[in-house]
Amino acid sequence: MTLKPDPKLDLVLERVVDVPPKLVWAAWTRPEHLKVWFTPAPWKTVDCEIDLRPGGIFRTVFRSPEGVETPNVGCYLEVVPEKRLTWTDALLPGFRPSGKSYLGVMQVTTIITLTPEGKGTRYKAICLHTDEAGRKQHEEMGFFDGWGKALDQLVAHAKTM
């Protein structure tokens, strides 16, 4: 599937990182790794559940610096090992509609693509939003800084794996 992001609706973070797709994939798909890097510090991911198959659960629990915990539950839509991972919070496991929104703000579908580039990986994260207001709100929540910092944390962690 090739998706051309719509700048009115989608946010994109793309970067070449100096770790191979195999390690980036493991960081995204194994709870013990994801909990280390997924939320930008000083936030933490304190719990994670992954059932890595279309219809399977992708659940995380974030903890703010003040100790407030926020669960986020979604459903995997596409799993192509070491190449593409797609999930949404618009659906619960088993493709059941969630009726909820991301952090109470918007619904998001996220696509992570990994492409080998030299000894590293071209990493692309696309967050698809329902409307321009949701996209803008997500950007104002700190999408670029937060996702960029989390990616830096992923790379640092992957180098220790």
**Above 70 in pLDDT, residue 64?**
yes
**Does the reported pTM lie above 0.85?**
yes
Task: Give 121's pLDDT tier (boundaries 50, 70, 90).
Answer: very high
CATH fold of 10-158 reads Alpha-D-Glucose-1,6-Bisphosphate; Chain A, domain 4 (3.30.530)
β-strand pairing of 57-63 with 44-50: antiparallel
Contact 53, 64 (CB under 8 A): no
**Above 60 in pLDDT, residue 125?**
yes
DSSP codes of every residue in 81-123:
TTTEEEEESSEEGGGEE----BTTTB-EEEEEEEEEETTEEEE
- Sorted by sequence, the CB contacts under 8 Å of residue 141 that are 6+ apart come out as 103, 105
What average pLDDT does range 103-111 have in this prediction? 77
Q: What residues does each domain of the chain span? A: 10-158
